Structures are given as C-alpha cells and as structure tokens.
Structure 1
C-alpha cells in the first residue's frame, strides 16, 4: 500500500538576491505570495501570483515583466509506481506576461495560461487509478531587477515564501462531511429565498474526481477544480436564472458506477440533511452530472422518482463499458423514468459512445430532451469529445430557443 503524502504541506520557496539589491546592513524582508488559480473549461490553472507587498509602498514604475522570474514544479501527492503514468506533473519556467500593483498595493505577476497548456495546472491524472489528484505545487520567484519604493528608496527582499492556493469560485464552496462519511462541497446563495425557499442543484462528478482510498486520498477538491460543472451553477448568471440556488457537489469514495444502488442513499442522505438545515424548496431539487456522474444522475431518478424536479445527465453511461456486460441502467428503468430529463452528449465521444448510451436513453425516457453536438469546441479550442459537460457549465444546450438552465429553473416537482 502506498504511503500517503500530505498534499497540503506549505512549501517555502527561498530567494538569495544579489548583494546590490540589498540595503547595506539590512537583512531584507520576507515576502509571502499566493498562487491565484482559475478553473478553465479544461481544468484549473495557476494564472497569477500575488506578492504581499502592500506594506512596502512599491513604486509601480519599477515593475516590468522582467523584474521577476517564476519557476513551477508540480508533483503527485501519491507515489507513482514504476511504469505508471501521470498527466501532468511538470518542472518548468512560467512566463510572466505582466507585473502590476493591485488596489491594495500588492504585486501581481500575471502568468501565461491557456486551454491545453502544460505547466500551469493544479491537477494530475494518474492513469492506473483513473484519478485526478491535486498536485503538490512548489513555486520559486527570482528577482532579476531592483524594486523601488515611491520615495525612490530600494526595497530589500530576502526571500519569497509560498502560501496557499486561492480560487474565489472554488473557495465559495464550503467543506462538509455527511453522517455516513461522504465528503461534499456546498455553495450557499445570498439571502433566504422568501417563503418558498431556494432551489438545490446536485452536481455529480465524473469518474476521475472520486477518491483513491487505497492511497488514503480523499480530497474533496477535484470535484470543483477539474471542470466547471458545479461552478457553472454558482456563477452570477446561473444564480440570477435560478433566483439564488444552493449547489452541492458530493464526492464518491470510488466510482459512482462501482455501486450506484449503494451510493444513491448516501447522496439522498446529504440532500435530506441540507433540506432540513437550510431554506430549500423541496419542489425545486435538480440533479446533473457528467460521465460517471451522468450515470449516477439517471440512477438517482430511477431510485427516487419523486425527489427531483429535473435531471440533466451529460454523456452518462447506460450500457456496460465491458463488451457483453450487463447494462448499468436497464431499458425498463429508463422507460420508467418520470423525472423531466434533458440529455447532453457529443457525437465524437469515444469514451462513452452516444449511440448505446445517451441516444438509447433518450429513445426510452418518456418526454426526454436531448442536445447532440458534433464536437466539443469552446472559445475556438477543440476539446476531447467526451468533455460535453463544458456546454452544460456554460448554459449552451438549447431546444426551441430555451436554454438548459432556464428549462431546469422552470421545472417544479
């Protein structure tokens, strides 16, 4: 059994400056810095560094993109066995595209980032475990040119010390553990929602975002950082459409498909507890999920036919992934679904082929809607055909001019 590695260890990145950059007889200050991250459609990346320099009174004219150099190293929190593969550890120089002061007077180093770019991600995918894990990140800042205060005096800095990872969208979700031990993240809307209460949206993650318990790894993080599935419903646009909604993202202890009937009551337990503790409208509980979670969305509506006002399974698994294996959701179960259902997938999905899965489910679920894309492209970047959850996270699917979020928000149980 692999020895667990604490991925939350705070790493310190030291810096020895040239003597010319130091004030004579003064050791210089230690400056902490934060890793600023953003979840792109293809996953989370570190997009800038914020240096805690407000107290130093930096002259912004002394800042250029070349003032600092940034090196980044990302390693797995789980030991990788010989012959195994992980995507994407890295040990690279990050390009500084701008150096500026924010409103507080802290230095912000903007870093080059883009969909598909290697060297900025916060997650790695371990092939043998089919798991995303949050990488241990070690960033080193090197000062290449002197900094000046607003009065013209030099600023001596002895070392830069790395702090935590900050992502306002992810950090808006609080951490929780259910009575049965299932971890989940919860977004809480502003206000109380009036007499009827707020909607609740349940997001069920894909297979790569579950735990790896044999390695002691159960992070309650990758469910939000791997894609914008849950985050999309917490955006200002979605919250306006739903008039303020709670968003909950449970994390499986393995794969939802490993035991859908066993996981269903554990998810239902979380929902029941949230309804008990928060002003949630029982008539407006929605479930959505991608891939493994698309399967689990369907399984939840077959197990609890009166619980959800609407269901949106994205590239959900229905047929067995093994040739000749039993169907994960039977034709009788699909035909018996009474929850309003909108299915989403892409024709070029080779991981969960649409014909035996999404299209087959659409043919059997009474009154279901379906959006079938030819490929997955967003902002000019073409993604893997399996990533059709990107469209749901952007409220793109539509039928007769009605988009999927608006359709969900209008449903009542």
Structure 2
C-alpha cells in the first residue's frame, strides 16, 4: 500500500500556470491537466534528504530532451514539524536549486536537486531540542513550470497543476513495519530467499530516534531515516558478507537509558518473534547500537548472556547520567560479559565521554576489542565526534586486517 509522506495531498499550481490558462505562446489545447510527482530520498550519513523529484510525465508522450533544462521548472520546499516544538524552528521554507533535468527510462522527468551533508533545505527530519527527538517533517513541495516542454514531434506542452505523492527511499522501503505483542514497533529487513537459516542483526537506535508519546508521536521510521545504522547492514555489501541477514530495528517508546531493565524483555520478545517466524539461526543473533542504543546493546548482553553471537556497542553510556549517579551498568556486570564485544567511539565525542564509558567498558569486558577514532570524517565532511556509528555503518573499523562485519559474520554462539 502506498504511503503518503505528507499528511495531506498537495495540489500545487504555479502562478503562471493557473488551471485553465496556458503559458504565453502555448495553445490552450496543448496544456496537460495534471501530473503527479514523487519525492526521491536518500539516507546520507548525516540523515535523509530529498535528492530529486520524479514527475509522472511519461503519459504525455515522448518529450524532446533538448527542451528540458535546469530552468524548465522551479522547486520550492516547505517543511514543518508535525508536533509542537515549543517555539523552536526546525523546518524551512526555501527554493531548492535544480542541478540537472533528465528523462528516466520510462520517459518521466527527473529533477535532480542540490543536496549534501550539512546542507539546509533537503532534510526530511527535524530535531527538537526540548524533546531530544527527531521527527519526520511535513513536506510540501511546490513546482512551477517556467517554459513549455516540447514533444518530439514539436508540439509544446504546459502542465496546469502538480500533485505531490509519496516519499520514496528504496533502502527505507525495503524494511517492513511490525508491532510486537507488547506494543513495541519495529522495522524488519528480510534478505532474498536462500536455503538454510540466516543471521539476525538487531540495531538499537540512539536517543533522538525514540518516540514522543506525550505528543502521540510514535512513527518508527526515524530509526531508518536519521542515519545509516540499520540500513548499512541491509546493503548489498553487508548482505554478501553475512550471506544474507535479517535486520531488525525496534523503536523505544522513550529512551533506552530511561529504563533498560524494562525494555530488555521487550527487545527479547521481538528477537524471539523473528526467530520463530523467519528462518533465523538462533546461534547467529548479533546486537549493535549507538549512543543510547550502545548502552542498550551492552545491557542486553548482561540480561541475556546466552543470546548473542556478538555485540557492537557504539559510543554507549555505562556511567551515571549525572556526576554522583550510580552507573547504568555496574563494573561487576561489565566484567561478567562473555559475549564477544567490539566497542567503537571517537576521542572527540563531547556528548558521551569516551574514556569514562567506552574505554572503561573495554578495560573490564574480557577479551573485548576497541576501535577509537580521533575524529568522525566521511568523504571530507567532518561530523560531530559523537557520530562514530557512521564508521560502523560503512564497515570501517578493523583490527589486524579484519573488518568489523567480517568479524561479526564469523561469530557463532
């Protein structure tokens, strides 16, 4: 079933293309009534962005590519929060530059938009500081046709109005939506059918991707749109290394650190349901998590010491939240962990002290591995030091020539 990303269907009419009127010099009979368009998105390391628009123009007839330029259409984007932000402006209202215009193999027009890490105006999420939550923004895109298109036989065509349809992100859409018997929502990636039982990778998100129940906000998609954590394990590269793996991404109703002992059985219930209903090898269940989820991945191995083949806590918390608070995971529990563990963090993390948390846990967990970066840099863009999960999502950590995913794939409980 098609999901409409915006909470309403948007009929957009350019000022020079009011319904029933034609562009100057274009005959009234050469005006197309309406065209739908899809928002094409990609989850970058720093979060999902709308990267292009696909206009359903194939039905108009063969378009002359020479009549299609970056100036043929103008694109405006407006993004607003679906919940109260307490006065914080988390959206935007601006023009999106068109960097290229082309026809796809169906004959539909594709408008490629300017986007990139740290670039304002393309994101699909907004972070509300007072709630420490990412939310999916309501997106309204306005298209204006500036000059006529020409069909290959020479007839000019203008479009009276445009209708915005769904947000399409193939990587996100590959995950299916589920709710456990206890009510916890999760997304599940299923590999191509293969003989035999497959591994299962459990991805536990950071604090910003939890629900905001007081606002009635529990969408379970920010876990896939905010970063490439879960998506990385569903890529062709990862699937080849794991020989086909299921990937499950539960969403916490608040934050894992709020009550790890209560959330642990809820995660375990999801794992058991997936193992029971899919051809999963119970001896190859791996848990990976970042920040809040880094804490929770460690907590899962203390509560369920016989469940996991490997654990990858990323910039996780083990100390108390405030100075003087009891530790979230006591030293005795860390020292008792027997699950093969590979910890990852960056030295410049100013959100979670890597020395007091990741390094401290590494010193206590028997035979654990540690990758400690100086900075978080990807394709020349420097990210906040807390975002070391970017490296895990790209299989960058390595020790002695063995990369993280290969290390995980070899582990069996």
- Per the normalisation by structure 2, the TM-score is 0.96
Equivalence for 1:64: 69
Distance 1:21 1:267, change over 3 A: farther
Equivalence for 1:201: 201
Output one character per residue of 1:60-99: Cα deviation in whole Å (capped at 9) or x when no partner: 11100111110001000002223xx244x11111010000
Contact 1:86/1:125 (CA < 8 Å) preserved in 2?
A: no
Gaps of 5+ in 1: 1-5
Equivalence for 1:99: 101
Output one character per residue of 1:173-209: Cα deviation in whole Å (capped at 9) or x when no partner: 0001110000000000001342xx0000000000000
Contact 1:283/1:308 (CA < 8 Å) preserved in 2?
A: yes
Equivalence for 1:237: 237
- Give the distance between the partners of 1:120 and 1:63, measured in 2 at CA: 23
Equivalence for 2:113: 111
Secondary structure of the structure 1 residue equivalent to 2:122: coil
Distance 1:21 1:370, change over 3 A: farther
Contact 2:98/2:111 (CA < 8 Å) preserved in 1?
A: yes
Secondary structure of the structure 2 residue equivalent to 1:133: strand
Which of residues 139, 142, 164 is equivalent to 2:141? 139
Output one character per residue of 1:143-192: Cα deviation in whole Å (capped at 9) or x when no partner: 11110111111113110111110000000000011100000000000013
Output one character per residue of 1:234-270: Cα deviation in whole Å (capped at 9) or x when no partner: 0000000000000000000000000100000000000
Contact 1:10/1:164 (CA < 8 Å) preserved in 2?
A: no
* Residues 179-218 of structure 1 mapped to structure 2, 5 A cutoff: 179-194=181-196, 197-218=197-218
Equivalence for 2:126: 124
Output one character per residue of 1:82-139: Cα deviation in whole Å (capped at 9) or x when no partner: 3xx244x111110100000000000000000010001100000001000000000010
Output one character per residue of 1:12-46: Cα deviation in whole Å (capped at 9) or x when no partner: 32234253264325653200000000000000000
Contact 2:30/2:156 (CA < 8 Å) preserved in 1?
A: no
Equivalence for 1:3: none
Contact 1:305/1:339 (CA < 8 Å) preserved in 2?
A: yes
* Residues 307-326 of structure 1 mapped to structure 2, 5 A cutoff: 307-326=307-326
Equivalence for 1:10: 9
CA positional deviation for 1:320 = 1.4
- Give the distance between the partners of 2:124 and 2:7, measured in 1 at CA: 12
Matched, 1:334 2:334: yes
Moved beyond 6 Å, runs of 4+: none
Contact 1:70/1:142 (CA < 8 Å) preserved in 2?
A: yes
CA positional deviation for 1:11 = 2.9
Which of residues 156, 159, 174 is equivalent to 2:158? 156
Distance 1:61 1:182, change over 3 A: same
Which of residues 26, 44, 48 is equivalent to 2:48? 44
Which of residues 19, 32, 37 is equivalent to 2:23? 19
Secondary structure of the structure 1 residue equivalent to 2:140: strand
Contact 1:21/1:154 (CA < 8 Å) preserved in 2?
A: no
Secondary structure of the structure 1 residue equivalent to 2:24: helix
Contact 1:334/1:361 (CA < 8 Å) preserved in 2?
A: yes
- Give the distance between the partners of 1:235 and 1:326, measured in 2 at CA: 39
- Give the distance between the partners of 2:9 and 2:255, measured in 1 at CA: 30
Contact 2:189/2:247 (CA < 8 Å) preserved in 1?
A: yes
- Give the distance between the partners of 1:346 and 1:315, measured in 2 at CA: 8
- Give the distance between the partners of 1:9 and 1:178, measured in 2 at CA: 29
- Give the distance between the partners of 2:309 and 2:199, measured in 1 at CA: 10
Secondary structure of the structure 2 residue equivalent to 1:199: strand
Secondary structure of the structure 1 residue equivalent to 2:156: coil
- Give the distance between the partners of 1:21 and 1:93, measured in 2 at CA: 27
Gaps of 5+ in 2: none
Equivalence for 2:33: 29
Distance 1:358 1:86, change over 3 A: farther
- Give the distance between the partners of 2:224 and 2:283, measured in 1 at CA: 26
- Give the distance between the partners of 1:368 and 1:30, measured in 2 at CA: 60
Tell me the number of residue pairs that the alignment of Structure 1 and Structure 2 aligns: 403
Secondary structure of the structure 2 residue equivalent to 1:349: coil
Matched, 1:284 2:284: yes
Equivalence for 1:81: 86
Equivalence for 1:381: 381
- Give the distance between the partners of 1:192 and 1:259, measured in 2 at CA: 38
Secondary structure of the structure 2 residue equivalent to 1:392: helix
- Per the normalisation by structure 1, the TM-score is 0.96
